[in-house]
Structure 1
Amino acid sequence: MYDHTMDPSGDVVLTLKNPNAPFALVTADDSVTFLVSSRHLILASPVLKAALTGGWKEGITSDASHIRGISSSEWDVEAMTILMSIIHHRWSQVPRVVDLELLGKIAIVVDYYQINETVQLMGELWIERLLQKPLPDSYGRELLLWMCVSSVYKDHAIFKHATEVAIWHCPRDVETLQLPIPLAAIARINELRREIPFTITNSLEQLKSDYLWGFKGCNDACRSIQIGALMMKTYSLDLQNRCSGQPLQDGLSLARLVESIRGMETPLWHGHDSDCAQSYRSSLSLCLCRAPHTCRSVQLGFVVGLPPSESSGILSEYAQALASRVEGQMEGLDLSGYI
């Protein structure tokens, strides 16, 4: 009579329509029924309590036997069966190990019916078993599932890791895939992906200004060559004249951007050695001691609060210090601010 009997003396039939729908794109005539106890549902879920006691049509009596009916749709049958088993204390029917895919499906239902407290203990057990393998260190569907699971089960450490990876490695704006991830957290991740390049741009613009005003670089030739290399790199990364809130090139992650900054090189060129006894007597004179240029000037552009190497007038040193500073400031989001 019922597909799943959670309570033989139950007084509610929970009907799951269009079960196992992947994206809620189709309408099917299939349905799965659960005979459940209204007492257990009311205690476990404020959403189901409202449906059963608030006069909603989902809570109407279905026949003369006084068994009421509740309809839901598109949840995964296995996930719903596990949750109903937990709510009805049928612990022998509750798996001790689930994969990430199923845990994500369970988390979606937990979030919708607000049964976090009821499932919290099992959620922690499932997560502990899954953590026997390392968390993903690249952006993708698996990372978003972990972001969903950690937010629903309030695992602060996993959420911080997942959001840091998303900020650092996502090649475009982060999407939720319709998972119950706090929208404010997604918005903050995407905001940081715009703020950090803007900060990098400002630092590189300051370096360019220091070259132009003579605060960095030991002579005009030194400054001209280094500013040319700097401008070519910023144009190749679309960092020139960047406005606050402007997104990165599609496909470019912050990790790749910072690695490109770190890879900036100081051009190698041969110039006149000012210490050479054969100093130039005219623009046509030829010095026999044209050695690779070494920038030895005292740097006047030191900025208080920055690491000493970031005050360097040598492009490669400045870029490496800037990249290290950005990496050192990078961290994931604190879940406490989004629940």
Structure 2
Amino acid sequence: MSFNFGTVSNPSDAILTLNSPNAAFAAWDDPQNTASSSATVTFRVVSQSLIQTSRVFKATLNGPWKEGSVAEDGCKNLEAEGWDSEAMRIVLSAIHHRTRDIPRSVTLEMLCKVAVLVDYYELHDTLYFFLNLWINDLWYPLPKVYSRDLILWICITSIFTSANIHQHVTNVAVSHCPSEFRTLDLPIPERVANCINTRRETAMKQLIASLNDIKSKLLEDATGCSFECRSAHLGALVIHMHDERLLDGAIEPPFKGRSVADTVTKMRGIRSPSKDWHVQTSTCELSLKSLTETALKTVDAIQGLKLDDADDCRLIVFTKKGKKSKGRKLED
């Protein structure tokens, strides 16, 4: 398959060869099930268009490497590997100002594939309008559970920063991620992944600590109206903590297989003793439900990540080549 981006007035003078196109992208389950093609896709491009829009292409084509030399076929030759061929076609169409060839709507999958190329080749300004258009078209409804789509959104909003969307999707990740956050080999900044993991683990520790605090108060006669009242509620609490593996030492960071949202749900479902053990002459209204609801206020304030105010709210993104680029701020 071949594409030509040259014109009569500005003919192509370079060939970009995409090897092993359409490799597995952000594999969620088993990446072995998705193999890249052994064929190649070639793009005949105008080297000056690449140089003027991308510092990466500029360094490659103007540097002392073979890509900067004219080959026997009269063209400069560049290579890329594994990228999605349609995403590459869209990106090159934008570089060559062929806006008619750029779709007005894309899938979330394609949006992320294009965003990753934008990040890698530092093309934020070139694709700004279209990324903004596609994001506005796709953002509602955003994922409400931990899923591959959620991770794609975190990647997209880390490259083309949209504060409201980024805060929402990272909030969902903190609350619903059942283990350490997975980047799926996408160029999500390490500090974003680390912050999600830290906030999730902190919230889980707070939940477990709150249950232990309730247990301590019942043991120390700090609540309840009688020995029977305290004993019944303490026994019910310990049984619940045992069943849910929330006793000390039963579960440790990174709390694999347990999300904050699931733990909150289990805490809200805790059962108080069915028999009324309160002293008849007292006004004691002790219940595990009231105790745990008070404890849950510690995690009600969980929030997603806010973008840095510094540097025009732009994120520093570390790509898979170790190169740094800055995300472009999108209007919310």
> TM (normalized to structure 1)?
0.81
Per-residue displacement from partner, 1:39-85 (whole Å, max 9, x unpaired)? Answer: 221121111111111212333322262x2111111111111111111
The one-letter code sitting in structure 1 at the alignment partner of 2:64 is G
Query: Cα deviations across residues 88-113 of structure 1 (Å, max 9, x unaligned)?
Result: 11111111111111111111111111
Counterpart residue number, 2:70 = 61
**What is aligned with 1:168?**
175
User: How far does residue 17 in structure 1 lie from its aligned partner after superposition?
Assistant: 1.1
User: SS in structure 2 opposite 1:14?
Assistant: strand
In the other structure, the counterpart of 2:135 is 127
CA distance in 2, matches of 1:156, 1:244: 34
User: Which position in structure 2 is the counterpart of 1:30?
Assistant: 39
Give the residue type in structure 2 aligned to 1:174: F
Q: Aligned ranges for residues 159-198 of structure 1 at < 5 Å?
A: 159-198=166-205
Q: Does the Cα contact within 8 Å between 1:198 and 1:243 map onto a contact in 2?
A: no
**Within 2, Cα distance between the matches of 1:90 and 1:221?**
79
Q: Distance in 1 between matches of 2:36 and 2:269?
A: 53
The answer on 1:315 being equivalent to 2:288 is yes
Could you tell me which residue of structure 2 aligns to residue 305 of structure 1?
none
The answer to whether the 8 A contact 2:6-2:12 is kept is: yes
**Aligned residue among 92, 103, 111 for 2:111:** 103
In structure 2, distance between residues paired with 1:62 and 1:29: 24
**2:2 counterpart letter in structure 1:** D
| Structure 1 residue 47 corresponds to structure 2 residue 26 | no
1:228/1:181 CA distance change after superposition, 3 Å: same
The reply on whether 1:237 has 2:239 as its aligned counterpart is: no
Alignment of 1:89-100 (within 5 A): 89-100=97-108
The one-character-per-residue Cα deviations of 1:249-275 (angstroms, maximum 9, x if unpaired) are: 52x321111011112232132458454
- The amino acid that maps onto 1:267 is P
**2:182 is paired with a residue of what secondary structure?**
coil
In structure 2, the CA distance between the partners of 1:64 and 1:168, relative to structure 1 (3 Å rule), is closer
Contact kept, 8 Å, 1:86 with 1:94, in 2: the verdict is yes
Code of the residue aligned with 1:316 in structure 2: it is: K
1:263–1:320 contact (8 Å) kept in structure 2: no
2-structure distance, mates of 1:42, 1:226: 71
Q: Residue type matched to 1:4 in 2?
A: F
Match of 1:248 among 255, 259, 262: 255
Task: Provide the C-alpha distance between the structure 1 equivalents of 2:277 and 2:151, rounded to a whole number of angstroms.
Answer: 54
Look at both structures and tell me which one has the larger radius of gyration over its CA atoms: 1
The one-letter amino acid paired with 2:54 is S
Q: Which runs of no fewer than 5 residues in structure 2 stay unpaired?
A: 26-30, 310-314, 317-332
RMSD: 2.4
In structure 2, the residue matched to 1:336 is 308
Tell me, yes or no, if structure 1 residue 76 matches structure 2 residue 84. Answer: yes
The amino acid that maps onto 1:96 is: R
Query: Which residue type is aligned with residue 97 of structure 1?
Result: S
Gaps of 5+ in 1: 276-294, 298-311
Please name the residue that 2:328 is paired with: none
Percent identity of paired positions between Structure 1 and Structure 2: 36
TM-score (norm 2): 0.83
Cα distance in 2 for partners of 1:245, 1:116 equals 41
Alignment partners' CA distance in 2, 1:269 and 1:104: 56
In 2 relative to 1, CA 274–16 (structure 1 residues): closer, same or farther, beyond 3 Å?
closer
Distance 1:27 1:205 in 2: 51
What amino acid maps onto 2:49 in structure 1? H
Give the distance between the partners of 1:122 and 1:263, measured in 2 at CA: 46
Distance 1:270 1:261, change over 3 A: closer
The letter of the residue matching 2:283 is: R
Residues 266 and 315 in structure 1, CA contact (< 8 A), matched pair in contact too: yes
| C-alpha spacing 1:178/1:273, structure 2 compared with 1 (3 Å) | closer
Aligned residues, how many?
A: 301
